[in-house]
Amino acid sequence: MADETVEAWVVDVEKTLVDSQPEAEGAKWMAQSIYLVPARMKILGAGAYKPRTLSLGPYHHGDPDLLPMEVHKRRALRHVVRRSGKTARQFVAGVEEVAEKLEGAYADLGDEWRGPGNRSRFLQVMVTDGCFLLEVMRMAAAGEHVGDYAPKDPVFSMHGLLYTVPHIRLDMVIMENQLPLLLLQKIMALENVNTNLTDEFAINRMVLEFLSTMLQPLPPGIGLALHPLDVIRRSFLSGQDQLTSITQGQGYSIPSAFELYHAGISFKAGSTISPRCISFQNGVLTMPRFVMDDSSEYFFLNMMAFERLHADAGNDVTEFVQFLGSILLSAQDVKLLCSEGVIENILHEDEAVVGMFKRLATDFVVVRGSAIGHLYQQVYMYIWNNPCRGLTYWFTQFVNTYFHTPWKAISLFAGTLLLMLSIVQTLYAVLSFYRKKD
């Protein structure tokens, strides 16, 4: 029995030797762009990686909590097919032309979805979810129900726009809940809509306008984004870098915003919300303007997950979050940046912002030689190249550490008093000893 087991294992290994060629492995990794988030990362997310209203794609299809939306997805499919004048079979056949590319986008996709024998289920989910997502984005763009839906439709109406669409937006940025934009492009071409609307720039813009009105539009010529999360991340990082990276140098840390302020550094809100507007010059730290609300943690966690799992994504969002986690250590740091117009805190509680970035910045480090690492070095040199600024920074740290709250001040006073009494008692004992000896 053992020999048979080993023989079967050897045969299986021999069959997959071709897949281990560098070219084949490289093509596989390049095709993937949608990932299951590992358990070690979900510990930090506290539910931010799981959709709550809508499943998109295969990973969460069939989840019991998401089944109520399936009836609305199938209804949207029927409207798209009827409006196009084509048959559902034609839509499936059209999407099947790019099925291998769509399958390849999903990492660790189970055997129940892959290959010719199981492709029918995969195609059904792709066509249904793609049509539904297009209909939701069109309805939101129009600001009212799409023409061939009932006025009281629970999703495709003003009521749905107010109460359902916000939850769909949140689910659209979840790493495990992505649809390739190639799918949307294919479905729009099958609808016989205006060909100008199926180009890559128009699709990127449609997705971005649905997800956020605050972000910068993606410029033409960059190609079709991978999926909605890729669109939001690219837009968030749009703009020209104000910092230059360095190739070597020792690691530096950065003080909190309150400590920087008392060391002579002032803050200025940049012209955009992109982290690439960060700069430091003549004692002024220019930072992007950003709004902190209930969805901020979702956006940051999933963009950071994409950077960790997609080898070609870079590390920009992760380093920006680490930077914010380093300078926002207390409520007074948040208050300071709010007063300077850098942060608009819709969460209202400053401690909530501190807690959020404390969670987000866990288990992340700034890459040595990066642009943010260079910023840390610039700030460090600005403070310590001037003795007065260095002394002020040290004194601020001391006060902030030992006098931040009345209890800390009382503890310091009591500890100092006990130390002094212990010294006096020791001196008295020594003097008494020598008096007796004399």
Beta strands in 288-394 (DSSP E): 290-292, 343-345
Give the helix ranges, DSSP H, for 191-227.
200-211
E strand or H helix at 287, and its extent? strand 284-287
Q: Which residues contact 393 (CB under 8 A, 6 or more apart)?
A: 255, 259, 262, 263, 383
Rounded distance between C-alpha atoms, residue 233 and residue 306, angstroms = 9
Sign (positive or negative) of CA dihedral 132, 209, 279, 262 = negative
pLDDT per residue rounded down to tens, the chain (438 residues) = 456 677 777 776 776 766 655 655 656 678 899 999 998 888 877 689 999 999 999 999 999 999 999 999 999 999 999 999 999 999 999 999 999 999 999 999 988 898 777 889 999 999 999 999 999 999 999 876 567 898 889 999 989 999 999 999 999 999 999 999 999 999 999 997 665 666 899 999 999 999 988 888 888 888 999 999 999 999 999 876 666 554 444 556 788 999 899 888 999 999 888 888 899 998 999 999 989 998 899 999 999 999 999 988 888 999 999 999 999 999 999 999 999 999 999 988 999 999 999 888 876 655 555 678 788 888 888 887 766 555 555 555 555 555 555 655 566 556 666 777 677 777 777 677 667 665
Cβ contact 73:171 at 8 Å: no
Phi, psi of 219 (to 5 degrees): -70, 155
E strand or H helix at 267, and its extent? strand 266-269
Q: Where are the domains of the chain?
A: 1-25, 32-226, 257-398, 406-438
Indicate the residue type of 81. V
